Amino acid sequence: MKKRSSNDKVVSKRKTKTSTKSSKEREMYQTKYIGMDVHVSTTVIAIRNSEGKVVTEAIIETKAAEIKDFFRGQRGTLHVTFEEGCQAAWLYDLIHPYVAKVLVCNPRKVVRSDRRSDRIDAKRLAELLRTNAITPTCCRS
């Protein structure tokens, strides 16, 4: 919008768009992809946003209370994957009420890298979930 000042000079006023949502509010509505590498005593978790950036990594105890607390603290639409194993059915039933989608995958069908660690596996699972490259062995939403 242009406006003339008292000296007859043209002054330009620009309207800038300001976002009404803070970064925390935007995070609440964002889809997150969670990869979990589950073991008897600990679970390694990696969370990627819809752009593929790792936004959170955590190592928690594989106990119901710890896992529930972790998922209760997350915001946004949550999609979760973990490999099939002896705790898969228990874990599925535990987290299903807190997330939008749970995929249990066959560990033999997950592409592995030469470098292996629990952190790398959790990040890889989250990325495969984000790119829809996981074939589920169990999928109930």
If you write DSSP's letter for every residue of 75-87 in order, what string do you get?
-SEEEEEEE-STT
CA atoms within 13 A on the CB side of 50: 9
Please give the pLDDT value at position 15: 47
- pLDDT > 90? residue 42: yes
The stretch 76-100 carries a mean pLDDT of: 95
Distance (Å, rounded) from C-alpha 91 to C-alpha 85?
10
More confident site: 106 or 122: 122
Cα 27 from Cα 121, distance rounded (Å): 24
Q: What percent of the chain is predicted at pLDDT more than 90? A: 62
Domain ranges of the chain: 26-140
The confidence score (pLDDT) of residue 9 equals 54
pLDDT digits (tens, 9 = 90+) for 7-38: 555 544 544 444 455 555 555 569 999 999 99
Domain 26-140 CATH assignment equals 3.30.420.10 = yes
Which of 139 and 103 is assigned the larger pLDDT?
Answer: 103
- Identify the pLDDT of residue 112: 62
- Residue 85 · residue 107 · CB < 8 Å: yes
Which has more confidence, 67 or 108? 67
What tens digit of pLDDT does each residue of 102-115 get? 999 988 776 666 66
Q: pTM for the full model?
A: 0.77
Residue 81 has pLDDT above 50, yes or no: yes
Q: Which residue has the higher pLDDT, 65 or 12?
A: 65
CA–CA dist 134, 99 (Å, integer):
17
Please state, in angstroms and as integers, the Cα–Cα distance from residue 67 to each residue in 7, 18, 56, 82, 123, following that order. Answer: 67, 37, 15, 13, 18
Look at residue 12 in the predicted model and tell me its pLDDT.
Answer: 47
Indicate the DSSP class of residue 73: T
